[in-house]
């Protein structure tokens, strides 16, 4: 590393790409690992990098040849074993951000919003400064109003116990760019205490999206930690099929209590799904695909599938039915695939474009039948009807895969190296 002293602020590093000496991208920086030392500033021992496959791995500081606020360059030697904390190690974003500290001058408390690392002439990186937001104004810094920020030395603050309640606003802001599945992956690496703190900070919609990507046990644990009103609000934001799966894992009395707190329309969708066996099409389906009448035009259909709230699988097809258009609908007429919409004139009516070769499956059909039909016809969504021919939902390929894959597939690792391996140092 360079012998010129350098200072970086961790919050500005989050999300930066990490490159090898040839300019190839290794991954993206997600956190910095520091080692606590009694009576001394923590020593930065490495960074956590998100590599291909969304795995988070450890890269020692000794393997970094350059690090500033614009880019990070490493030697290219990376051990792709999933990162796990050791001993006195702490994650700056995961554990130090939002931590409450007491100021050594006796002036009160503050909240850590950022951490500065200084590179020593030896090449080591030490935590030198804390960027904090003050909690009061009775201090030598009394010129600052309540809530103002200030940069202080590490030894000007005493860190409260790790067991004390801790905010999560800075951590959540740092992870704002993460997709729900990646956020869920990061959440799994946190302690139970930290998970609950992060969940409390997230907006209902964001928490719902992240919950849907967690293993079932973690979903139940997090939802159970919320008060009932908040839990019901989060369930309303989830896809009905995911909400039903989660409620099915709760004690029946608790599930019913939450259903009663949900909006009736949202609760009705979930209740219908809970009536099905989980190994049937009805147990897999979502009850809210895109449904339009045969008189609707191609232009109207394209406007519906442009919605950001739709998953790619649900946006791939329009289900054409007689009114009512809420499930269970009137008579199911057929499907119009998005490719057909793109090839057709905007004023054309959907009733003339229906794929008459695609037969729906019964809501009582088994997973084997659903898998066979979707694989045979290369489908990403499949209509599901009841015994009277009314559309009750659609099975999407992601829901089918969730059911077919092992329960622990989110935590599965293949263990195969992507780059030349290097042992962990520090």
Give DSSP secondary structure letters for 269-329: HHHHHHTS-TTBHHHH-BS---EE-TT-BHHHHHHHHT-TTS-TTGGGEEEEEPSP-SSS-
Q: What is the mean pLDDT of the chain?
A: 88
Residues of the chain above pLDDT 90, percent: 67
> What's this model's pTM, rounded to 2 decimal places?
0.78
Chain centroid, CA 23 distance in Å: 29
- Residues 61 and 1: their CA atoms lie apart, in Å, by 9
- Residues 96 and 101: their CA atoms lie apart, in Å, by 10
Q: What is the predicted pLDDT for the residue at 309?
A: 85
Both tokens of residue 65? 């040849």
Average pLDDT over residues 54-59: 88
In the chain, residues under CATH classification 3.10.580.10 are 285-404
CATH 3.30.9.10 fits 285-404, yes or no: no
| pLDDT tens, residue by residue, 230-281 | 999 999 999 999 999 999 999 999 999 999 999 999 999 999 999 999 999 9
- Residues 133 and 148: their CA atoms lie apart, in Å, by 6
| pLDDT tens, residue by residue, 294-343 | 999 999 999 999 998 899 999 999 999 999 999 999 999 999 999 999 99
In the chain, residues under CATH classification 2.30.30.240 are 1-137+144-156
Chain centroid, CA 90 distance in Å: 22
In the chain, residues under CATH classification 1.25.60.10 are 165-274
Q: What is the predicted pLDDT for the residue at 255?
A: 97
Phi, psi dihedral angles at 304 (to 5 degrees): -70, -45
Under a CB-based contact definition with an 8 Å cutoff, are residues 151 and 160 in contact? no
- Residues 380 and 375: their CA atoms lie apart, in Å, by 9
H/E element holding 156? none
**Does pLDDT of 419 surpass 80?**
no
| pLDDT tens, residue by residue, 250-260 | 999 999 999 99
Fold category of 1-137+144-156 in CATH? SH3 type barrels. (2.30.30)
| pLDDT tens, residue by residue, 178-230 | 889 889 988 887 888 889 999 999 999 999 999 999 988 999 999 999 999 99
**Does pLDDT of 368 surpass 80?**
yes
**Does pLDDT of 118 surpass 60?**
yes
* DSSP assigned state of 331: B
Helix axis angle, 228-237 to 264-274, nearest 10°: 80
**Does pLDDT of 1 surpass 60?**
no
Q: What is the predicted pLDDT for the residue at 40?
A: 81
Q: Is the peptide bond before 40 cis (omega within 30 degrees of 0)?
A: no
CATH 1.25.60.10 fits 165-274, yes or no: yes
- Residues 117 and 37: their CA atoms lie apart, in Å, by 15
Residue 425: which pLDDT band, with cuts at 50, 70 and 90? Answer: very low
């Amino acid at each position: 590393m360079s012998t010129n002293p350098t200072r970086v602020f961790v919050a500005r590093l989050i999300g930066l790409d990490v490159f090898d000496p040839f300019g190839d991208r290794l991954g993206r920086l997600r956190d910095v690992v520091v080692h606590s030392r009694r009576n001394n500033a923590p020593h930065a021992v490495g960074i956590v990098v998100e590599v291909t496959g969304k795995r988070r791995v450890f890269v020692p500081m000794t393997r970094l040849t350059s690090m500033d606020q614009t880019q990070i360059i490493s030697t290219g030697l990376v051990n792709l074993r999933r990162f796990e904390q050791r001993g006195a190690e702490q994650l700056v974003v995961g554990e130090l951000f939002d931590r409450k500290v007491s100021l050594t001058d006796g002036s009160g408390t503050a909240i850590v919003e950022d951490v500065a690392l200084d590179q020593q002439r030896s090449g080591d990186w030490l935590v030198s400064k804390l960027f904090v937001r003050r909690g009061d104004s009775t201090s030598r810094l009394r010129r600052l109003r309540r809530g103002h920020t200030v940069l202080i030395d590490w030894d000007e603050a005493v860190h409260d116990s790790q067991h004390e309640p801790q905010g999560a606003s800075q951590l959540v802001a740092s992870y704002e760019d993460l997709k729900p599945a990646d956020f869920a992956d990061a959440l799994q690496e946190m302690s139970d205490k930290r998970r609950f703190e992060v969940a409390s900070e997230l907006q209902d919609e964001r928490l719902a999206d992240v919950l849907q990507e967690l293993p079932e046990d973690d979903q139940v644990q997090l939802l159970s930690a919320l008060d009932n009103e908040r839990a019901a609000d989060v369930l309303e934001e989830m896809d009905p099929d995911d909400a039903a799966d989660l409620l099915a894992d709760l004690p029946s009395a608790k599930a019913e209590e939450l259903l009663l707190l949900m909006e009736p329309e949202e609760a009705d969708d979930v209740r219908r799904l809970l009536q099905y066996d989980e190994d049937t099409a009805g147990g897999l389906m979502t009850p809210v695909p895109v449904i339009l009448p045969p008189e609707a035009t191609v232009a109207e259909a394209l406007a519906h599938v442009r919605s950001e709230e739709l998953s790619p699988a649900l946006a791939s097809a329009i289900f054409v039915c007689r009114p009512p258009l809420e499930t269970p609908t009137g008579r199911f007429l057929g499907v119009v695939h998005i490719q057909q919409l793109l090839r057709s004139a905007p004023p054309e009516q959907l009733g003339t474009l229906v794929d008459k070769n695609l037969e729906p499956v019964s809501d009582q059909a088994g997973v084997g039948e659903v898998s066979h039909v979707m694989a045979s016809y290369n489908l990403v969504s499949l209509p599901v009807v009841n015994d009277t021919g009314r559309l009750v939902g659609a099975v999407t390929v992601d829901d089918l895969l969730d059911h077919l894959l092992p329960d622990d597939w989110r935590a599965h690792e293949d263990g195969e190296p992507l780059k030349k391996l290097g042992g962990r140092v520090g």
